[in-house]
Amino acid sequence: MQTWSLVSISVLLAVVVRWGVSLNSYSGAGKPPMFGDYEAQRHWQEVTYNLPLQQWYFNTSDNDLNYWGLDYPPLTAYHSWLCAYVANIINPEWVELHRSRGYESPAHKLFMRTTVLVTDVLIYIPAVVFYCLYLTGGSAKKRVSLLLSILLYPGLILIDYGHFQYNGVSLGFALWGVLALGLGWDMSGSVAFCLALNYKQMELYHALPFFCYLLGKCARAGLLGRGFILLARIAVAVLVTFALCWLPFLPDPSQASQVVRRIFPVARGLFEDKVANTWCSLNTLIKIRSFLTADSQLYLSFALTLLAALPSSIRLLMKPTFWHFKLALVNSSLAFFLFSYQVHEKSILLAALPVCLLLNDFPFMSVWFLQASTFSMLPLFLKDGLLVPYAVTSVGYLFLTFYLLSALDDCSEAEMNLGCYSKLSFFLPKTYLACMMRWKFYFSIALMAVLSILSVVLDPPPHLPDLFPVLVSTTAFLHFLGAFLHFNIVQFSEPVSKKSQKKNN
Amino acid sequence: MAAQAESWSWFAALAVGVSLLKCLFINAYHSTDFEVHRNWLAITHSLPVSRWYRENTSEWTLDYPPLFAWFEFGLSQAARHFDPNMLRVENLDYASPATVLFQRLSVVFTDLLFIYAVRECCRCVGVQKGSKEVLTRPSFVLAVLLLWNFGLLVVDHIHFQYNGFLFGFLLLSVAKHLQGQHLQGALLFAVLLHLKHIYLYVAPAYGIFLLRSYCFTRDHRDGAIRWSSFSPLRLLALGGIVTSVSALSLGPFIVKGQLPQLVSRLFPFRRGLCHAYWAPNVWALYNAADKLLAALGVRLKLLQEAELPRASMTGGLVQEVQHAVLPSVSPSVTLLCTLLSILPALASLWRRPRGGRAFLRCLLLCALASFLFGWHVHEKAVLLAVLPLSVLAVESREDAGIFLVLATTGHYSLFPLLFTPAELPIKVCLMLMFTIFSFTGLGALHRARGPLLRPLELVYLLGLLAVAIGCEFVFPLSPWRQRLPFLPLLVTSVYCAAGVCYSFLRLYASMLRSDHRPKQP
């Protein structure tokens, strides 16, 4: 069978699964007065369509910022405006100022779901297809397997098509950036990444690797010669993209500063809800928030984030290869997720994207991480009534990746996986180590399954109402911490990475 | 042993994959058939057997044979634990989330039988000739064509029916015949008949085949029948199987003297010639011709518009179609047409038995003939031909070509079943997926022997694409939507009818042509 038919079948399957998930409930369905992210997105359409641009980010009588005020960068706002424009043509009630608040109907749900699918089909899915076809090695079948494994990653599907968000846009732009850098088109890559950054500020998680990779590349070409020209061109591309995105807000400095204040809400505290990062997990042992001032929390988290992201970034700066770039993306986004300020559980998707890109190189570890990342959002899915799609897509994904990528088989031959540890723990025989990893994996999957079932079936004891969310987030946190350490070690163990690179080519 | 188990791991992947996909459609649109089956659950669970075929609180009375009623009874035992309220006869249109979950899951789980049957079928087709590549093995292609069949997914898991389970019986019985285990095959088919009597349509093929190839043990060298080889023992065994299954199913009702009541429920001839939406068969063409002639007659002043039957121009929206120009068709005429059209196939099967493949071909012809000429045929019945044809398609190039035409048109004619906008992406994507796979998968299998489709067939199928775009996307936005609401349905069924009729004729031609070829050893 030809590659084109396999690719198109995979893409169609991905669309069917996405749409199948979207038939389910969304966040805040029928839950006044605040509803959920679905209403937030609808409200942004209402605001951007009806108010002049100068009022979008300001608290006015027509724009109550306490009710889902716009807190994403301008591209999101433009996108909302575009959706609202279409919505107004179909049914003006959907975006009517004030009176459309909390609007819900099957037709409107269909419209909202369609907007997500459209952006996905236009931005995210093509990026994945091109990445798999042009930047991975192996036979056509292998590449299509990878394509399917990336497209069917449950976390992203459940958040975008179940919970309701447009992560496909920002992640898609970031992936276009990665793709362009991988093909050597540095300018287009920077432009794509700037678009991602201007769609969601959370893309900052990926900013350090992009910066270090490009800087390292320029430095290698000679910062006084060709490298400087390259750097200048990239800088111009970045500045022009930013300027274009912010153009309407630039004339008035108070406008721009208000947008920035909205985007980085430092007042919202170190963490909200139960999120699988360091602060929330540490909170079960020590109540950090009670003895540190808000400012010192901010500085502490900022310092720790930088400290955690620094090693891999420096390594990337020294060796700006695509291989190191992908690893640094994982390490940096995980560092941000684990240590930075005001992290949401959905932000794990930012780490999941680069891990998806490593599926080909480290099937075992990547699949493990991706499963854990989906699991970490379980409390959210339960709240949104997405239990069935969560169970179906997670089990399906586990099964699919093991069949397509033969992840478990790779574990034994995965010297590239484990060779780095044998240096650390030279007293253990390698086979024993592989076996131990596999059992650890089985145990962790079983633990996730048991915790998922318990959260659904059991009512928590009255004095510990958050028992299961805390258990889930702590378990996931341990996985993420382990993955963070593992991928850092991998990035620093050069000989191994060379071998696996050769293997891929 | 381990090697063999490994070589089938792709089958498990396909089966698990499609089962999980089915679970994603739990919250999708479901038709009134959902309520039909819920009502049957309630009837069989809460009423004594004697009232099963008398109960008429709901308009959806029990009209499947008794074994299916027992099947519903079995399901209702599990349904109790999900939501006991769904088992109350007076709870009409009851669809709580637990009910939906249970009913959907019951379809997914009873499909396990279908999966097993597909596996048995895959074992029967061509032993791999050293092809290492999984994707181009006949058994792999067949497994995808059956397990991921577009029609079955849409009809069972969105529209809601239990066809997968029933086709499991049919395919398993076919596989048993292909493997030479005729008694098991006969038993499975007898059970199937008492689960859903629509399979009576293919019973002639079974009857002739078993009589000719099982009860007569040997042939003359030229393939002619050797009368002396008749084995009464075998006939007795077959008769015993059929009678005992029938006794088990119908017995209780005969004892209670309810047989006439049961039969009147099973064969309701009150309904019209065509279903609300015309299935793509001969009668769709006949109706369309009638309308065309009537319109022409009015235009040429040969007919008075006032004299035309009132309903005739509202299209497929009424049950009773009254023909304006052409003579009206009665049930007996359709029966006669069906019988006449399958007669040559049966005769050929009797004169020259060529094993299981010829039987399968005859079964297909019976299914297609009844689809084309039958009374009140549902568009879903086309699956009865598409699924068995998949088995032949992976083995011969000619059948693969016919399969592509029949499957594509037959599946497309199912589109009007799902008319809700929310399901549009699913049906379009699933259809494209299946069609792309069947074209490229079968193409790769038969690559050595040239292209599968003749140029004209290709043009016809591309025309289908145009029809699809016109009906699904252009028409809803056009001004004709108000004036001619039935137009897309009419165009769809007429266009698809042409393809189905053509496939029928080609299948017939290939069967009769092979009659004249020397018998292959």
* Under 8 Å between Cβ of B357 and B374: no
Average pLDDT over residues B233-262: 89
User: A268 CA to chain B: closest CA distance, Å?
Assistant: 37
Average pLDDT over residues B300-309: 70
Calculate how close chain B gets to A24, using CA atoms only, in Å. Answer: 6
Residues of A in contact with B27 (CB under 8 A): 23-24, 388
Q: Is B200 on the interface with A (CB under 8 A)?
A: no
- Does the distance separating the beta carbons of A19 and B429 come in below 8 Å? yes
> pLDDT digits over A347-368, tens only?
999 999 999 999 988 888 899 9
Mean pLDDT of B122-137: 73
Which chain A residue lies closest to B426 (C-alpha atoms)? A16
Among partner residues B101, B425, B437, which is closest to A19 by beta-carbon distance?
Answer: B425
CA distance B164 to B109: 10
Of A103, A151, A113, whose CA–CA distance to A23 is shortest? A113
Please report whether residue B321 resides in a domain. Answer: yes
Nearest CA in chain A to B434: A9
Q: What is the CA radius of gyration of chain A?
A: 23
Question: What is the per-residue pLDDT across B490-513, written as a single tens digit (0 to 9) for each?
Answer: 888 899 999 999 999 999 888 888
- Is the confidence at residue A416, as pLDDT, over 90? no
Distance from CA of A91 to the nearest CA of B (A): 16
- Tell whether the model's pLDDT for residue B105 goes beyond 90: yes
**Chain B 436-495, residues with CB within 8 Å of chain A CB atoms:** 436-437, 439-441, 444
Q: Which of A489-493, B109-113, B151-155, B431-435 has the least mean pLDDT?
A: A489-493
Neighbours of B211 (CB within 10 A): 16
- On whether residue B303 sits in a domain, the answer given is yes
Lowest mean pLDDT of A319-333, A428-442, B382-396, name the range: A428-442
Phi and psi dihedrals of B274, rounded to 5?
A: -120, 150
B323 part of a folded domain: yes
| Residue B105 with chain A: CB contacts under 8 Å | none
pLDDT digits (tens, 9 = 90+) for B370-388: 999 988 888 889 999 999 9
Among A3, A4, A23, which would you mutate to test the B interface (most chain B Cβ atoms within 10 Å of its Cβ)? A23
Residue in A with minimal Cα distance to B436: A5
Residue of B6, B16, B26, B27 to mutate, interface with A, max A Cβ within 10 Å: B27
User: Cβ B422–A23 below 8 Å, yes or no?
Assistant: yes
DSSP state of B317: G
Q: Closest Cα of chain A to B416: distance in Å?
A: 19
Q: Given CB atoms, is A90 within the 8 Å cutoff of chain B?
A: no
Whether A403 and chain B come into contact, CB under 8 Å, resolves to yes
Give the mean pLDDT of B375-403: 90
Return the residue in B158, B394, B433 with the most chain A beta carbons within 10 A, the one to mutate for interface testing.
B433
Whether A110 sits inside 8 A of B421 (CB atoms) is yes
Q: How crowded is residue B224: how many other Cβ atoms within 10 Å of its Cβ? A: 10
Which residues, numbered 141 to 200 in chain A, qualify as contacts with chain B under a Cβ-Cβ cut-off of 8 Å?
141
Residues of A within 8 A of B13 (CB-CB) are 399-400, 403
pLDDT above 70 coverage of chain A, percent: 92
Q: Is A460 on the interface with B (CB under 8 A)?
A: no
More confident residue, A107 or B219: A107
Range of the domain at B307: 282-328
pLDDT of residue B356 exceeding 90, the answer is: no
A20 in B contact zone (CB under 8 Å): yes
Q: Pick the more confident residue, B259 or A127.
A: A127
Per CB-CB distance under 8 Å, the chain A contacts of B102 are: none
Partner residue opposite B136 with nearest CB, options A1, A23, A392: A1
What is residue A393's predicted lDDT score, i.e. its pLDDT? 95
> What is residue A498's predicted lDDT score, i.e. its pLDDT?
43
Name the closest residue on chain B to residue A12, using Cα atoms.
B429
User: Given a cut of 70, is residue B319 above it in pLDDT?
Assistant: no
Tell me the mean pLDDT in the region A77-98. 94
pLDDT at A246 over 60: yes
Q: Say if residue A428's pLDDT is above 70.
A: no
Report yes or no on B309 lying in a domain. Answer: yes
Give the C-alpha separation, B291 to B297, whole Å: 10
> What is d(CA A372, CA A242) in angstroms, rounded to the nearest whole number?
35
Q: What is the mean pLDDT of residues A250-256?
A: 88
Q: Is the pLDDT reported for residue B314 higher than 60? A: no
Quote the percentage of chain B above a pLDDT of 90. 43
Q: Are A426 and A420 in contact (CB under 8 A)?
A: no
Above 0.85 for ipTM, yes or no?
yes
pLDDT at B257 over 60: yes
Domains in chain B, number = 1
Q: Is residue B302 a part of any domain in this protein?
A: yes
- Asked whether the predicted pLDDT for residue A70 surpasses 70, the reply is yes
CB contacts of B421 in chain A (<8 Å) are 110
Mutate to test the interface with B, among A3, A8, A9, A141 (most CBs of B within 10 A): A9
**Length of chain A measured in residues:** 505
Reply yes or no: is the peptide bond before residue A106 cis, omega within 30 of 0.
no
Q: Does A23 reach chain B within 8 Å, measured CB to CB?
A: yes
Q: Which residues of B touch A393 (CB under 8 A)?
A: 20, 24
> At a CB cut-off of 8 Å and minimum separation 6, what does B514 contact?
B354, B358
- pLDDT at res. B123: 87
Amino acid at A341: Y
With beta carbons less than 8 A apart as the criterion, state whether A27 and A36 touch: yes
Please give the residue that has the higher pLDDT: either B304 or B11.
B11
**Residue B94 three-state SS:** coil
Quickly state the pLDDT bin for B332 (edges 50, 70, 90).
confident
CA distance B323 to chain A (A): 39
pLDDT at A22 over 90: yes
User: Is residue B301 domain-resident?
Assistant: yes
92-111 in chain B: CB under 8 A from chain A:
101
pLDDT band for position A499 (cuts 50, 70, 90): very low
pLDDT band of residue B321 (cuts 50, 70, 90) is: low
A12 Cβ under 8 Å from any chain B Cβ: yes
Residue count of chain B, please give it: 521
Q: Is residue B243 included in any domain, yes or no?
A: no
Q: How many CB pairs under 8 A join A and B?
A: 77
Average pLDDT over residues A129-153: 91
Contacts of B35 (CB under 8 A, 6+ apart): B58, B60, B92, B93, B95
Would you tell me which residues 369-428 of chain B have a C-beta closer than 8 angstroms to some C-beta of chain A? 421-422, 425-426
B2 pLDDT tier (thresholds 50, 70, 90): very low
Q: Determine the pLDDT at residue A476.
A: 94
Q: DSSP 3-state assignment of B377?
A: strand
C-alpha closest to that of B11 among B187, B163, B141, B168: B141
From the list B41, B154, B53, the residue with the least C-alpha distance to B88 is B41
Average pLDDT over residues B434-460: 89
Does any CB of chain B come closer than 8 Å to the CB of residue A314? no
pLDDT digits (tens, 9 = 90+) for A304-327: 999 999 999 999 999 999 999 999
Please check whether residue B406 is in contact with residue B464, taking contact to mean a CB–CB distance below 8 angstroms. no
pLDDT: is B330 or A258 the higher one? A258
Question: Touching check for A428 and chain B: CB below 8 Å?
Answer: no
Decide if pLDDT at B6 tops 90.
Answer: no
Facing residue for B24 by CB, picked from A2, A21, A106: A21
Q: What is the pLDDT, as a whole number, of residue B309?
A: 59
Q: Would you call A388 and B26 a contact, using CB atoms and an 8 Å cutoff?
A: yes
Question: Taken in order A313, A314, A318, A323, is the CA torsion positive or negative?
Answer: negative
Residue B310, in any domain of the structure: yes
Interfacial A residues in 372-391 facing B (CB < 8 Å): 388-389
Q: pLDDT confidence of B320, banded at 50, 70, 90?
A: low
The percent of residues in chain B predicted with pLDDT above 70, rounded, is 91
Name the band, by pLDDT with cuts 50, 70 and 90, for residue A234. very high
Q: Which of B9, B136, B426 sits opposite A16 (nearest CB)?
A: B426
Across chain B, mean pLDDT equals 85
Distance, C-alpha B382 to centroid of its chain = 4
Find the residue in B nearest to A141 (Cα): B135
Tell me the CA end-to-end span of chain B in Å, nearest whole number: 31
User: Is B19 in the A-facing interface, judged by CB distances under 8 Å?
Assistant: no
